[in-house]
């Protein structure tokens, strides 16, 4: 089983939970797919795009249920990132947890698979 991760701000996560599905954050909608990260990418993704933000949620998503809608495509530095080319549904999510900000950095302790 492979798990990928999606980060949402609180308001984005609330809308997702309320609606049962989402096309993602504004950047996802603009790009035409839901941006996700692998275990090896998620810490850097959060540092680059969510630095210093509070109220973040990290979602663990198992890739097998996403089928052909999940594509691994080159992005930052040529690394292959998971991109979802359909709405993300609540049933796709294995778990959701708070991503705490501790002393100015996000604490992933116990949140991502090793």
Look at residue 41 in the predicted model and tell me its pLDDT: 94
Secondary structure in 3-state letters for 85-102: CCCEEHHHEEEEEEECEE
User: If you classify domain 3-103 with CATH, what class do you get?
Assistant: alpha beta
- By C-alpha distance, which of 56, 52, 70 is closest to 3? 70
The whole-number mean pLDDT for each consecutive block of 10 residues of the chain, a chain of 114 residues, reads 94 97 96 96 95 96 96 89 98 96 92 70
- By C-alpha distance, which of 61, 63, 68, 60 is closest to 85? 68
Look at residue 22 in the predicted model and tell me its pLDDT: 98
Buried b (16+ CB within 10 A) or exposed e, 77-91: eeeebbbbeeebeee
> Using the 8-state DSSP alphabet, how is residue 52 labeled?
T
Look at residue 114 in the predicted model and tell me its pLDDT: 45
Look at residue 29 in the predicted model and tell me its pLDDT: 96
């Amino acid at each position: 089983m492979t798990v990928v991760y999606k980060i949402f701000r609180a308001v984005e996560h609330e809308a997702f939970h309320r609606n049962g599905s989402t096309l993602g954050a504004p950047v996802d909608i603009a790009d035409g797919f839901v941006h996700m990260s692998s275990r090896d990418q998620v810490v850097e993704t959060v540092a680059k795009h969510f630095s210093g933000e509070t109220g973040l949620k990290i979602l663990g998503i198992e890739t097998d249920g996403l089928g052909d809608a999940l594509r691994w495509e080159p992005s930052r530095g040529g690394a292959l990132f998971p991109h979802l080319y359909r709405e993300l549904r609540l049933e796709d999510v294995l778990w959701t947890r708070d991503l705490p900000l501790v002393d100015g950095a996000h604490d992933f302790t116990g949140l991502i698979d090793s």
